[in-house]
Amino acid sequence: MISVKRKLEIRSAAHGARTLAIAPEAPVTRPLALAGRVPRVARLVALAVRFERQIRSGAVRDQSELARRCRVTQPRMTQIMNLALLAPAIQEQVLSLPRVQEGRDPVTERMLRRIAGEPCWQRQADMWQRISVAMHQ
């Protein structure tokens, strides 16, 4: 059995008739701290870290199995997993990017793919620094 609770209003209509109406709901507002949305790259980096942990723990056999479970292609899963190759300091900064209030994300996945393709963490840091500076201008 399903029960639904709603507030009802009794309204006066023409000639003394009364009608029953569903009361308008108060608009749902988010606290200011939660306004906006989490940047897409932050969600993808979090996924990459989580997937890597699942593979290491043995919960998932390999990336191919992850791709099947997530219903994405193997190349797309590789793109996501490559984000785990970012230097830990960069991952941390990406995960703590401010919420996007409107418009496009300031950092795109394509930008991060170029950085993740660099094996040297120091060079990754230099590349990330250039992006960070450009974001704040």
| Domain membership flag for residue 8 | no
| Domain membership flag for residue 19 | no
Q: 100 - beta bridge partners?
A: 37
- Per-residue confidence (pLDDT) for residue 86, from 0 to 100: 97
Q: What is the pLDDT of residues 80-129, one digit of tens each?
A: 999 999 999 999 999 999 999 989 998 999 999 999 999 999 999 999 99
| Domain membership flag for residue 92 | yes
The domain in which residue 48 lies consists of 37-98+109-135
Q: Please, which pLDDT band fits residue 134 given cuts at 50, 70 and 90?
A: confident
- Per-residue confidence (pLDDT) for residue 21, from 0 to 100: 73
**Total structural domains within the chain:** 1
Q: Please, which pLDDT band fits residue 33 given cuts at 50, 70 and 90?
A: low
pTM comes to: 0.72
Task: Write the DSSP assignment of 54-123 as a string of letters.
Answer: HHHHTSS--HHHHHHHHT--HHHHHHHHHGGGS-HHHHHHHHTPPPB-SSS-SS-HHHHHHHHT---HHH
Mean pLDDT of the chain: 88
| Domain membership flag for residue 16 | no
| Domain membership flag for residue 6 | no
Q: Please, which pLDDT band fits residue 137 given cuts at 50, 70 and 90?
A: low
| Domain membership flag for residue 119 | yes
| Domain membership flag for residue 7 | no
- Per-residue confidence (pLDDT) for residue 59, from 0 to 100: 95
Q: Please, which pLDDT band fits residue 1 given cuts at 50, 70 and 90?
A: low
- Per-residue confidence (pLDDT) for residue 63, from 0 to 100: 95
| Domain membership flag for residue 55 | yes
